[in-house]
């Protein structure tokens, strides 16, 4: 060995993050197996890989919903929501609305951009815009969403 194992690992990671169409059935199966095993670490990576396939990964949608609803790792909810939006954006209004109250900034940012336009969500977005405790990114995104 020439001491460049890290380079081989990096190459393997890059290839895994950009799978070809032949990988899709295996990724769907991997996500389902992770759910069955209650594997809470790693499905967010699988979700990101599935999202690259868009609607072709529709078989993963039920499991992605389960992970979004039940993960004990709040920081992963944004990845599941992004995957759902890439694969099947229908039916996400409730999830985006709920995510306006999420404790995770990435989930709130997705929700600010995508929550339905109605009085409840617009009020919550205004609260986020005006909340001095929220990050500048959240306040700016909320302000931009409410701008005329």
Note the pLDDT tens digit of each residue in 62-84: 999 999 999 999 999 999 999 99
Whole-prediction pTM? 0.86
Residue 2's CB is within 10 A of a number of other CB atoms, namely 5
DSSP secondary structure letter of residue 24:
H
Domain ranges of the chain: 9-90, 92-148
Mean pLDDT of 102-122: 97
Residue 15: what pLDDT?
60
In whole angstroms, what is the distance from residue 55 CA to residue 99 CA?
22
Residue 23: what pLDDT?
87
In whole angstroms, what is the distance from residue 47 CA to residue 123 CA?
31
The CA dihedral of 88, 92, 98, 103, to the nearest 10 degrees, is 30
Residue 5: what pLDDT?
78
pLDDT score of 44 more than 70: yes
């Amino acid at each position: 060995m020439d001491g460049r194992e890290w380079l081989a690992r990096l190459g393997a990671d890059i290839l895994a993050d950009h799978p070809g169409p032949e990988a899709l059935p295996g990724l769907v199966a991997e996500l389902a197996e992770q759910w069955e095993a209650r594997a809470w670490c790693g499905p967010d990576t699988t979700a990101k890989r599935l999202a690259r396939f868009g609607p072709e990964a529709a078989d993963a949608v039920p499991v992605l919903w389960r992970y979004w609803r039940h993960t004990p790792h709040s920081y992963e909810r944004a990845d599941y929501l992004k995957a759902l939006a890439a694969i099947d954006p229908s039916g996400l209004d409730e999830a985006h609305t709920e995510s306006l109250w999420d404790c995770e900034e990435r989930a709130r940012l997705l929700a600010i951009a995508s929550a339905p336009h109605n009085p409840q969500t617009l009020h919550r977005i205004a609260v986020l815009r005006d909340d001095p405790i929220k990050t500048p990114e959240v306040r700016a995104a909320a302000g931009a969403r409410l701008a005329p």
